[in-house]
Amino acid sequence: MLRGVVGRARLGRRFVTSLLWSAAWGGIATGAGVAGPGSDDISVPALTADEQRVLQTIEQGDVLATISFLASDELAGRDTPSKELEIAGAYVASRFRGAGLEGAGPDGSFYQVQELPRYFVPEGSPTLLTAAQPQGLSGCIAVGGGDAVAELRGPVVSDAAGVELRGAIVVIEEPPLPPAAAENPAMAGLSLARRVAPLAARGAAAVLVRVAGDGVLWPAMQRLRAEGTALPQQLSFPVVLVPREADLTGEVQLSVPPRTRVAEQVRNVVGVLRGTDPKLSAEAIIITAHLDHIGRIAGDRQGDTIYNGADDNATGVTAVVTLAEAYGRLQPRPARSVVFMTFWGEEKGLLGSKAWCEQPLWPLEKTVANVNIEMIGRPEEGAAEKMWGTGWTRSTLGPQLAAGAKRAGVEVFHREDVSEMLYARSDNYSFVQKGVIAHSFSAGSLHQDYHQLTDEYTRLNLPHMTRIIQGLFAGSLPLARGDLTPTKTAEAKAGKQ
């Protein structure tokens, strides 16, 4: 999850580390917000006897059974791609099937299968000839490359304001990294990628990174090469680590081998509860969460090596499958169709949701709203049985969900401090960019276990989490029934995504 930055000094170094390593979203450890504007003015019907019956079937024991499997060591952190993520997807599909959902994929499959290209460090060593080392500078390693051998010649320039970079070989200092990054090369690679990506966007042909032998980046990248860790997408052009003391004055000649490409299959898991109204059934509410997390620490480290990702985001997936089963028990079923989906690759940059929005199995123009669920298992102090939505002022979805959730005793509020900042940080934003009303809803906090080995299901507040899922059920029902239809606000209509 890639998060915004709201400081809490009491979290210390681990807080700073978690900010550096966020890949797509996160909760923030600040106080509760204010009630959402307009929710008191929205009228929704009381829960019917059948809806109340179904609401009571959302029980803590079932929530525990689901989350304890999704966040188990056996699923090894659900990295993208991995066999464990496939197993988790098969589990979600089985729950959708048991809930009576239809598979949205080809021939009734519950999978939307896509190809994920993965890139690895170039095989072989780069060659860097300088005026001081005409036979070639030793101690260089390539950690990024293009699809073909790169042959470059010219002076080295620094990354300074106003300097023209188009076609240039740029030299930078290694980015600051916490010591723990030496044991997590994927995270170190992501940090490096974020540093060099703006240079590539400005037209740089290659980047030389000065590194110290006693620094963090050098051993981290050596480990990345040795363990065969995939590169972030941003390292798709020549990036070479060079010794900090290297003399790079004058013209240099650089040759970098191409990166290695491997394609693997990944899949979103999608089930549909078909609506009953002849017209409204063509429309859908899409309820989503990301299934992936960040895997495990590679190598021969002793002790716990698994990032279980219980709160991030096995809690969201637990909500999706629990809601699917609850909706499947309704008699009668809703007027609108309801699509339930889990995404791959959120932690790698919202990849699964982007893939869906490029090739949706349900038309985007018939998508009424996306309710995306992120981190609902660890409430902030004083915020138990409450949740909040991102981008609150962009549409009426938040207030409408709040009006419905009240019937289950759950408050949905407007987090004025982070609502806007986090609007673009999770899978909902892939829909937003296509013009669909979409928001993420969270009922958690930025705790010290975020993206740590200690994010285990045993640390979740299960009574709170269960109540939040009940609130999501009661809150989304008026949308699915056709009682409410969210609309964009004037702010969103003005073109501000």
pLDDT at 33 over 60: no
pLDDT at 24 over 80: no
pLDDT at 75 over 70: yes
Give the pair of three-digit tokens for residue 130.
């300088």
Residue linked to tokens 């915020």: 383
pLDDT of residue 189: 87
Report the mean per-residue pLDDT for the chain: 89
Q: Any idea which fold 9-117+264-493 has? A: Aminopeptidase (3.40.630)
pLDDT of residue 300: 62
Strand (E) positions, 212-278?
Answer: 239-243, 251-256, 260-273
Query: Do 461 and 387 contact (CB within 8 A), yes or no?
Result: no
Residues facing 265 on adjacent strands: 115
pLDDT at 28 over 60: no
Instruction: Report which of 403, 480, 467, 322 is spatially closest to residue 46, judged by C-alpha positions.
Output: 403
pLDDT band of 11, cuts 50, 70, 90: very low
Distance (Å, whole) CA 265 – CA 444:
32
pLDDT of residue 1: 55
pLDDT at 97 over 80: yes
Q: What is the mean pLDDT of residues 297-305?
A: 77
pLDDT band of 389, cuts 50, 70, 90: very high
pLDDT at 18 over 50: no
pTM: 0.80
Domain boundary assignment for the chain = 9-117+264-493, 122-258
Name the region of 409 (left: φ>0; alpha: ψ -120 to 50; beta: rest): left
Q: Any idea which fold 122-258 has? A: Glucose Oxidase; domain 1 (3.50.30)
Give the pair of three-digit tokens for residue 339.
């699509």
- 9-117+264-493 with 122-258: one CATH topology? no
Instruction: Report which of 121, 81, 79, 138 is spatially closest to residue 221, judged by C-alpha positions.
Output: 121
For the chain, give the percent of residues with pLDDT over 90.
Answer: 71
Of 7-21, 221-235, 320-334, the range with the lowest mean pLDDT is 7-21
pLDDT of residue 34: 45
Residue 405 CA: distances (Å) to CA of 27, 146, 388, 401, 475: 20, 50, 12, 6, 4
Q: What is the mean pLDDT of residues 107-121?
A: 93
Q: Where are the alpha helices (DSSP H) in 154-252?
A: 185-201, 217-227
pLDDT tens for each residue of 449-479: 998 999 999 999 999 999 999 999 999 999 9
pLDDT band of 495, cuts 50, 70, 90: low
pLDDT of residue 35: 44
Angle at 297 between CA 295 and CA 299, to 5 degrees: 135
Note if the bond before 126 is cis, omega within 30 degrees: no
pLDDT at 496 over 60: no
